[in-house]
Amino acid sequence: MKVTKLLRTTILTGLTFPMVLFILGVYNGVMQTFYRAGVIHRQSTAGISYYQGLTMHGVINALVLTTFFAVTFGHYTITHYLKKEPPGWSYLGSLVVMAVGTLTDLAVMVLGKASALYTFYAPLKASPLFYLGTALLIAGSWIAFAGWIKIWYQWKRENSDKKMPIAVLGTFVNFTMWLLSTIPVVYELLALLTPWALGLTDTVHVPLTRTLFWMFGHPLVYFWILPAYVGYYTILPKVAGGKLYSANAARLAFLLFLVLSTPVGVHHQFSEGAISGGVKMWVSILTFGVAVPSFMTAFTVGASLEYAGRRRGAKGLLNWMAKLPWLEPDNYLFGYFICGLILFIFGGMSGIINGSYTLNQLVHNTGWVPGHFHMTVAGPSLLFIFGLSLYMFSHISGKPLRYRRTVTIIPYLWMIGVAMLSHGLMAGGLMGEPRRTNLGLTYTNPESQLFNSRWVPSTTMTMVGGIIMGTAAALYFICFFKMALSKARATPTIELPEAEELHVEKPLPIVLNMRPWIVISVILIATTYIPSLSNVYKYGRPVRNRFNIDNPINTVQDEKK
Amino acid sequence: MDKYEFRTIGLSGLLLAVFFFAILYNSYGRKINMPTCIPADRTFQRTEVKKIDDHLYEFDIVARMWSYGLYEFVIPPGSTVDFYLTSSDVVHGFEINEKGVNMMAIPGVVNKITATFENPGVYPIVCNEFCGVGHQNMTGRIVVKQD
């Protein structure tokens, strides 16, 4: 369908702006692998220190790019399926607020005033502007959701006999979960950290801030991945030449994510003293629960792909895999989907290990953890962002996609890079290699007393993976910006491949109504967070601490003297 | 919904149940040591090694930017150590990879874990949480040897 110029400009900006910043994010990612492999034995390179670069890598890649994409993909999908445009105040308002927040964060990060990483663990202090900017980036996405809700109710009045399209359900589930989980972090940022960083308050309750952060930090990973799930259910079967195996199962999977995403955040706190073993065990159960919709997706998507392969003439047990459109320049999206799915098999399995209360002891805060999440966020999430950014940009701008062969190869190259990077990080992690550490200064520096030769092969493998990922990303940027800077040839439209359903299934009333699921979600959040927060207050106390990253002197006591 | 979908849900539920029983077995059957909550009134200001008896030690460790107060902790083989850990400034990590000891040192909280060191050797302690520009220098070691 055709759309107004304002919405078109918003979507194009929402795709291009984070992609420009992502160049900086990728650069810092690749640089980290050089530091860690002991190729660079310095605090900083080209004016960016290791920890400053790590903060940029986290904030830009994990927060800015993913949030902008979820919102932009939401505008595109909702407009496409409801055949209505969201109100202008919503998409324009959200773009402006998110961009202001992002530029604020970017400025303080570039100036080196916010190098306390994207998890902003107090009592390490970042600039108050960083907390404010991050809160704006997050809150901006809420405005977009408000606009979609408005047109959803209009659509519902006009189409009372129709079911909610799966893509709309997936998007609404994602943003409902996001809304529930971002309230705690926005409260932490604005009510606790900003006044503390400004010096208005001197005390900070550290385990409380950590609990509020992870109440958001884990749902965040589902927020990264759910747009890709929308694609796996509604776009991939069509692209592969098949049909969606079961629509009811797709709806159920999304609703299970709505229920289970938020209460599992405490599994990031398994090795903390302020939360009791009972709560941790409960969260392990919930974390296993949230693996169920991923197993379901693996089955449903696998079955849809098998159907596609058989339609393409496959015989026998496994031949359907060979018949899928692996490397077809006219069907480049398939590679972006399938490479993400392959990585996600390993990302999901390692996630179950992390979520296991006792196993987590061996891997907590080691290289294993970034090894795991690069196979999720840099796997299915990022490859979906890459593929769909090209697709959406090309259609809504009317600009033709160039270098199609390169575009087709990129996801495979990227997948090889991620596999090597993650293998290196995970192998090193099992040998105790810490994450978030400038290893090149000490542990992988032969001249240091702390040199540990066991971590050299693993960090070298990580670096090779990082270089391959960097190469794939560089090729992608060339393709993306070549298209973005060319002249429009076709009429700008919004369109998406729409997968049909294989069976006509009986409508299952429970998967057609989000409300009971929202209620269950709130109940589960309460069963986890009421005991967690009461533990935090029971076993922890506030401290008068505020530290800059480069100085072990407490700035709170300084002011008293 | 399709019958195969139900089977998928059933099978994945079963698999996860097996995993969960493995966790229960490790926690309660094999009694794997896990970080434990300690009431906030047990506080200490500096790192101290306390010998309770010949093979039982208590280490009170205050992590700070960028050390654990002591670099080397010496104990005889067969010692069991109760590690009490807190931080006087920012969040730190405390990992002894060989022993599966992995704890967060959080200001305002005391964390505890127990480990037994049967074999002589040097066990490095690594800070695995970002704690400022000196983070990569923050280490210590446990030396297990006969006196």
CA–CA separation, A511 vs A276, rounded Å? 35
Residue of B nearest to A275 (CA): B37
The pLDDT score that the predictor gives to residue A298 is 93
Tell which of B3, B8, B25, B87 to mutate to test the A interface (max A CBs under 10 Å): B8
Tell me which residue in B9, B40, B91 faces A540 most closely, judged by beta carbons: B40
Chain A residues with CB under 8 Å of B97 CB are 366, 431-432
Per-residue pLDDT for chain A (561 aa), expressed as one digit of tens each? 889 999 999 999 999 999 999 999 999 999 999 999 999 999 999 999 999 999 999 999 999 999 999 999 999 999 999 999 999 999 999 999 999 999 999 999 999 999 989 999 989 999 999 999 999 999 999 999 999 999 999 999 999 889 999 999 999 999 999 999 999 999 999 999 999 999 999 999 999 999 999 999 999 999 999 999 999 999 999 999 999 999 999 999 999 999 999 889 999 999 998 999 889 999 999 999 999 999 999 999 999 999 999 999 989 899 999 999 999 999 999 999 999 999 999 999 999 999 998 899 999 999 999 999 999 999 999 999 999 999 999 999 999 999 999 999 999 999 999 999 999 999 999 999 999 999 999 999 999 999 999 999 999 999 999 999 999 999 999 999 999 999 999 999 999 999 999 988 888 888 888 999 999 999 999 999 999 999 999 999 999 999 999 989 998 875 554
Beta strands A44-45 and B48-53, pairing class: unpaired
Question: Cα separation of A45 and A233, whole Å?
Answer: 43
List the single residue in A with minimal CA-CA distance to B40: A539
The one catalytic residue in A205, A267, A435, A546 is A435
Q: What is the four-CA torsion angle of A531, A533, A539, A543, rounded to 10 degrees?
A: 180
* pTM confidence score: 0.95
pLDDT of A561: 46
pLDDT of residue B28: 86
**B26 pLDDT more than 90:** no
DSSP string, chain B: --HHHHHHHHHHHHHHHHHHHHHHIIIIIS-----EEE-TT---SS-EEEEEETTEEEEEEEEBTTB-S-SEEEE-TTEEEEEEEEESSS-EEEEEGGGTEEEEE-BT-EEEEEEEE-S-EEEEEE--S--STTGGG-EEEEEE---
Which entry of A288, A357, A436, A481 is annotated as an active-site residue? A436
CA distance A104 to chain B (A): 22
**A191/A193 Cα distance (integer angstroms):** 6
Whose tokens are 């400022």? That residue is B132
Choosing from A346, A373, A443, A476, the catalytic residue is: A373
How many angstroms away from the CA of B34 is the closest CA of chain A? 7
Do residue A246 and residue B5 have CB atoms under 8 angstroms apart? yes
d(CA A91, nearest CA chain B) in Å: 36
Q: Any catalytic annotation for residue A218?
A: yes
Q: In what order do the strands lie in the sheet with B110-117?
A: B36-38, B110-117, B79-87, B56-63, B48-53
Predicted pLDDT at B43 = 78
Contacting residues of A for B23, CB less than 8 Å apart:
281, 284, 356-359
Assess contact for A77 and A496: CB atoms under 8 A.
Answer: yes
pLDDT mean over B50-78: 93
Can you give the pLDDT at residue A504?
A: 84
Q: Kindly identify which residue of chain B lies nearest to residue A271, measuring between CA atoms.
A: B103
Catalytic annotation present for A373: yes
Q: Which of B1, B23, B109 has its CB closest to that of A358?
A: B23
pLDDT at residue B128 tops 50: yes
A163, A167, A170, A176: CA torsion to nearest 10: -80
Chain B residues touching A358 at Cβ < 8 A: 23, 26-27, 32, 34
Span B39-49, pLDDT tens digits = 867 778 899 99
What residues have CB less than 8 Å from A308, skipping those under 6 apart?
A237, A240, A241, A242, A243, A320, A324
Average pLDDT in chain B: 91
Q: What is the pLDDT of residue B31?
A: 82
Residue A55 CA, chain-centre distance (Å), reads 15
Length of chain A, please?
Answer: 561
What is the ipTM for the molecules in this complex? 0.94
Choose among B23, B37, B101: nearest Cβ to A357: B23
Hey, are the CB atoms on B13 and A277 less than 8 Å from each other? no
pLDDT average, residue stretch B30-38: 86
**Among chain B residues, CA nearest to A285:** B20
pLDDT at B38: 86
Which letter does DSSP use for residue A329 in this model?
Answer: G
Q: Please provide residue A435's backbone torsions phi and psi, each rounded to the nearest 5 degrees.
A: -80, 175
Q: Do B108 and A541 touch (CB under 8 A)?
A: yes
> Rounded to an integer, what distance in angstroms lies between the CA atom of residue A351 and that of residue B29?
24
Q: CB neighbours of A70 closer than 8 A, spacing ≥ 6?
A: A141, A174, A175, A178, A223, A224, A226, A227
H/E/C letters for each residue in A405-427?
Answer: HHHHHHHHHHHHHHHHHHHHHHH
Whether residues A539 and B95 touch (CB distance < 8 A) is answered with no
pLDDT score of A467: 97
Is A57 among the catalytic positions?
no
